[in-house]
């Protein structure tokens, strides 16, 4: 479930075998918009529904979703058709998180295998891939004024990427498996340069670098063996 930032009384819901719906919290009896499933595939089989994340595009009123079947779809509630007006496929793993980039012309998607990609919503193609993630992505958020995107996931790292250059600006190890994040818009990001990249040792390298301490041997009791 996501809230429309332009109209806070509107929310969107979707899930597994639960198509996209837009609700008005002031009139919650019936949804304002109910998406229709895409047409059957080339074998004339029904395409399963499994939306993993969604976001509103305040400038256009459209809604963009990502699915566990690797699709990124854009819906326009004002269009007479209830099916997606744009659909793109990315990668080979389920897409688990989505964030709208600055300008609302692109989105950043993350997969269960740690892939991060920037997708152009105007042409439905991949602009660039963001490297440095090794675990499933669970949370994404783009800064509204700068070219920065924050990501977190099951590899226990919080990462900060630059969207324009695609480079990793910063990462920090947070010990637990992360599921979501929130950027503070009150902080003046533009007046400060992005923090330099910090070399953080992976978990296996950290354990290998520790000094080995010999374990004291336990003294066992001697048993007398009586020969028969």
Question: Beta partners for 27?
Answer: 24
Q: Are 117 and 66 in contact (CB under 8 A)?
A: no
What is the model's pLDDT at position 198? 47
Cβ-proximal residues to 85 (8 Å cutoff; 6+ apart), any chain: 62, 74, 75, 76, 79
Q: What is the average per-residue pLDDT within 171-194? A: 77
Mean pLDDT of 51-66: 91
Alpha carbons within 13 angstroms on the beta-carbon side of residue 190 total 7
Condensed to tens digits (0 to 9), the pLDDT of residues 68-101 reads 999 999 999 998 889 999 999 998 999 999 999 8
Domain 1-89 class?
mainly beta
Q: Secondary structure of 99-121 in the HEC alphabet?
A: EECHHHCEEEEEECCCCEEEEEC
143-175: pLDDT as tens digits: 888 889 999 999 999 999 998 888 899 999 999
Q: Are 155 and 195 in contact (CB under 8 A)?
A: no
Q: How confident is the model at residue 68, as a pLDDT?
A: 94
What is the chain's mean pLDDT, rounded? 85
Q: For residue range 15-28, list pLDDT tens digits in order.
A: 999 999 999 999 99
Say how many C-beta atoms besides its own lie within 10 A of residue 45's C-beta. Answer: 8
Q: pLDDT of 126-147, one tens digit each?
A: 999 998 888 899 999 998 888 8
Query: What residue ranges do the domains of the chain occupy?
Result: 1-89, 92-200
Which position has the token pair 């910063």? 170
CATH code for the structural domain at 92-200: 2.130.10.10
Q: Is the pLDDT of residue 5 over 50?
A: yes
Closest to 72 in 3D by CA, of 34, 24, 115: 115
Q: Is the pLDDT of residue 221 over 70?
A: no
How does DSSP classify residue 199?
A: -
């Amino acid at each position: 479930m996501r809230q429309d930032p332009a109209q806070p009384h509107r929310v969107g819901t979707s899930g597994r075998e639960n198509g996209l719906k837009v609700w008005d919290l002031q009139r919650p009896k019936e949804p304002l918009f109910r998406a229709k499933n895409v047409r059957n595939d080339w074998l004339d089989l029904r395409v399963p529904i499994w939306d993993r994340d969604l976001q509103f595009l305040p400038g256009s009123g459209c809604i963009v979703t990502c699915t566990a079947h690797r699709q990124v779809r854009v819906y326009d509630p004002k269009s007479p058709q209830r099916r997606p007006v744009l659909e793109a496929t990315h990668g080979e793993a389920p897409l688990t998180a989505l964030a709208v980039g600055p300008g609302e012309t692109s989105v950043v998607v993350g997969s269960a295998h740690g892939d991060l990609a920037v997708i152009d919503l105007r042409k439905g193609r991949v602009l660039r891939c963001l490297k440095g993630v090794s675990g499933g992505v669970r949370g994404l958020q783009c800064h509204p004024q700068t070219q920065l995107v924050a990501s977190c996931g099951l590899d226990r790292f919080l990462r900060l990427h630059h969207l324009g250059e695609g480079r990793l600006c910063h990462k920090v190890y947070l010990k637990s498996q992360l599921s979501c994040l929130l950027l503070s818009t009150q902080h003046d990001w533009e007046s400060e340069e992005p923090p330099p990249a910090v070399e953080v040792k992976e978990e296996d390298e950290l354990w290998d670098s520790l000094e080995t301490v010999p374990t004291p041997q336990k003294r066992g009791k001697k048993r007398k063996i009586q020969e028969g």
